[in-house]
């Protein structure tokens, strides 16, 4: 016969048990880097199967967009093309990474439904797979950066290493977003189109192709935009200019909140992912 006190003890221990299982899933999945790395590479091969230049099509399309916008927008914003085009190019490259991490993060689990239903592996592997795949595409786009540095005579400084730190923080955010939106999208299939619509608006209200100085007196508000901060910590070092003073504090604060909330969601609803799929 189970007493009421025993029931209370078991219920109290349940959250800590879920936390331990979630942590084991995250660390166990990360240790299987050979698996999610191979799956990400396979995704790339399947996505561009039959193509001669493969993922470099993304790089070419990005270059075409940079050139097209680089002829028009410097005149709209009264900026010298020699400084505006690198600003635009790096903004678009980093934005493509951020937007793809968010949109594809929504399908972290639903896109892997057949694997989840048949193979008992950590759920986090599917999130790491999405992040790794998108950073592979990002690496292809980064090939444009040395060309821009040479063409526009950009002088790099020691703070270039901050761009690497920014990429690491962005990868951590990608995992958090993949867990959070992946779980929500598995339960509510309307989340993905809602997020896609939000990103369309965010693209125009974030200083990606327009300079933040254009906000004038509202600039301090724009500097609190986490999306701008994520772009700024990578773009500014590659442009050889200082990072905005508020970018790192805002980005790290947002990252801490996102990771905490994503982990709480993962620990609470991890056991229901397979059921919802």
Output the pLDDT for position 174.
95
Binned at pLDDT 50, 70 and 90, residue 43 comes out as confident
Q: Tell me the torsion sign for CA atoms 36, 39, 45, 47.
A: negative
Determine the average pLDDT of the residues in 19-30. 91
Output the pLDDT for position 11.
41
Q: What is the pLDDT of residues 113-148, one digit of tens each?
A: 888 888 888 999 999 999 999 999 898 888 888 777
Output the pLDDT for position 116.
86
d(CA 277, CA 264): 20
Position of tokens 């790096």? 90
Question: Are 29 and 125 in contact, with CB atoms under 8 Å apart?
Answer: yes
SS3 for 263? helix
Output the pLDDT for position 64.
87
Q: How many CB atoms lie within 10 A of CB 77?
A: 15
> Is the pLDDT score of 55 beyond 80?
no
Q: How far apart are the first and last CA of the chain?
A: 36
| Tokens coding 65 | 């967009």
Q: How many CB atoms lie within 10 A of CB 39?
A: 19
Output the pLDDT for position 93.
92
Determine the average pLDDT of the residues in 11-24. 73
């Amino acid at each position: 016969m189970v007493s009421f006190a025993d029931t209370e003890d078991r219920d109290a221990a349940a959250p800590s048990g879920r936390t331990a299982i979630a942590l084991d899933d995250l660390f166990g999945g990360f240790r299987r880097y050979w698996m999610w790395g191979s799956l990400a590479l396979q995704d790339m091969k399947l996505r561009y199967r039959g193509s001669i230049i493969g993922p470099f099509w993304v790089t070419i399309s990005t270059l075409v967009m940079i050139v097209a916008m680089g002829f028009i927008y410097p005149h709209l914003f009264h900026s010298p093309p020699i400084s505006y085009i690198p600003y635009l190019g790096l903004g678009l490259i980093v934005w493509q990474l951020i937007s793809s991490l968010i949109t594809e993060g929504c399908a972290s689990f639903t896109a892997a439904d057949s694997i989840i239903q048949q193979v008992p592996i950590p759920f986090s592997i599917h999130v790491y797979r999405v992040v790794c795949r998108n950073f592979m595409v990002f690496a292809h786009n980064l090939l444009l950066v040395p060309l821009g540095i040479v063409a526009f005579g950009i002088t790099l400084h020691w703070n270039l290493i901050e761009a690497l730190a920014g990429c690491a923080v962005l990868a951590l955010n990608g995992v958090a977003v993949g867990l959070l939106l992946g779980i929500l999208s598995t339960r509510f299939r309307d989340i993905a189109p809602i997020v896609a619509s939000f990103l369309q608006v965010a693209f125009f209200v974030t200083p990606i192709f327009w300079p933040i100085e254009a906000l004038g007196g509202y600039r301090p508000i724009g500097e609190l935009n986490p999306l701008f901060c994520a772009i700024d910590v990578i773009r500014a070092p590659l442009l050889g200019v200082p990072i905005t003073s508020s970018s790192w504090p805002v980005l790290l604060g947002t990252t801490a909140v996102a990771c905490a909330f994503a982990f709480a969601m993962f620990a609470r609803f991890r056991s229901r992912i397979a059921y919802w799929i």
